[in-house]
Amino acid sequence: MKKIVVKFGGSSLASAQQFQKAGEIIRENEGRRFVVPSAPGKRFSDDTKVTDLLYECYALAEKGEPFTEKLAEVKERYYEIIKGLGLTLSLEKEFETIAQQFQEHAGTNYAASRGEYLNGIVMAEYLGFEFVDAAEVICFDNEGVFLPDKTDRVMAKRLAKLEKAVIPGFYGARADGTVQTFSRGGSDVTGSLVARAIKADLYENWTDVSGFLVADPRIINNPEVITTITYKELRELSYMGATVLHEDAIFPVRTEGIPINIKNTNAPHDPGTLIVANTSLQPKYTITGIAGTKDFVAINIEKDMMHSEIGFGKRVLEVFENNGVSFEHVPSGIDTMTVFVKQNTFQEKEQEILSQLQRSCQPDSIDLESNLALIAVVGRGMKSTRGTAGRIFSALAHANVNVKMIDQGSSELNIIIGVTNSDFQAAIKAIYDIFVTIQL
């Protein structure tokens, strides 16, 4: 029998009705024996996620203001689910502990984690599975740094004794027992850690879309679904803003060669997107996906004979490093070097960085261009297809989009294009049309 880890997102567990859908999915396949739930998400567009309610509740507690009314909203959400599922479960002891911990200022990490913790208890009761508190099996050091090897050892030992278990997503604990969370969306990471620990055959990530889309549906109307994507391709797209899966969720399963299947709780028989280490399957289109992010600054540095000055690039990048600003791309020429950085982080240290560049590198000139966007065109099919870059430029020219930068890695897996913020959507539409729409 296959071992399958299933993770359900907040929208998949927002109500008793959604819980029932998840339950049907789990029971449909005997291999689905390890379940990772998120906290209840929005039931409708104007609703509030339970995690956000908990943040609001704890903020009141920190100020010394009454928070029982806000905590009652959280309690109501869970009892609505419990009643809808026909369970007799009581969470009174858990809520008493939460109220006490809030009064004692246990921290925002603790507050945020209680959504998953409580949902894990409900899910375990509903399924008849064992409940495993993530704080007992996901390890951080006392500085809050995640410990992957220790986590794998502890979790593998604990889960080896269990046939079926529910492990809440999003959090773990430091050595002293203090609760520590991953960043938002971290339940995806928990799911991949569980998959690695039990040497799963498949990690299913259930959400509210039928897989990973070729482009952002807010820009492209009804974009195509990606049927198969490699870890490397997904990493590139996630880094540039595609957000179906937390980008750190890739690493634990990648080391074990475990595929991830992105599936839709509301359309469970849709194939979704399969994420794999490698595949001989050719993508349907030359490109696999398009993603991008706005608001970058380009720092253009010019100096005669730059190419022959040993250590010039190192000195430039050290200035950014010393100011805590990470760079995104560094295209260069014989006498020019451009550094792309996020606009908000750069502008906080703008004058310090510029003066330090002047002193350290003595350039002939430094020019700045702001309000730029970077777009990644990603696809394993580009390597074996001639003229991909030419088609991109042709499409952008036809859409009257001025290209500010182009950068292609040696792997030929992606091409990064810089355009103005105002041309961002037009550029993505043009690229999608030339590679996808005309082939439909």
Euclidean distance between the first and final Cα of the chain, in Å? 39
Cβ atoms of 119 and 40 closer than 8 Å: yes
- One-letter amino acid for residue 52 of the chain: D
Domain ranges of the chain: 4-208, 289-439
What is the maximum alpha-carbon separation in the chain?
77
pLDDT tens digit string along 87-134?
999 999 999 999 999 999 999 999 999 999 999 999 999 999 999 999
Lowest mean pLDDT among 2-6, 349-353, 434-438: 434-438
The CA distance from 362 to 302, in Å, is 10
Lowest mean pLDDT among 217-226, 285-294, 332-341, 406-415: 406-415
For domain 4-208, give the CATH superfamily: Acetylglutamate kinase-like (3.40.1160.10)
424 band by pLDDT with thresholds 50, 70 and 90: very high
pLDDT tens digit string along 65-77?
999 999 999 999 9
Strands 405-408 and 260-264: unpaired
Nearest to 278 by CA among 259, 250, 253, 291: 259
Structure tokens at 398: 């036809």
Q: What is the pLDDT of residue 410?
A: 63
439 band by pLDDT with thresholds 50, 70 and 90: low
Average pLDDT value for residue range 18-40? 97
260 pLDDT higher than 70: yes
Cβ atoms of 114 and 54 closer than 8 Å: yes
For the segment(s) 289-439, the CATH number from 3.40.50.740, 3.50.50.60, 2.30.140.10, 3.30.2130.10 is 3.30.2130.10
**Which are the contacts of 337, defined by CB distance < 8 A and separation ≥ 6?**
300, 301, 306, 312, 313, 316, 330
pTM: 0.86
The CA distance from 337 to 432, in Å, is 30
Q: What is the pLDDT of residue 300?
A: 95
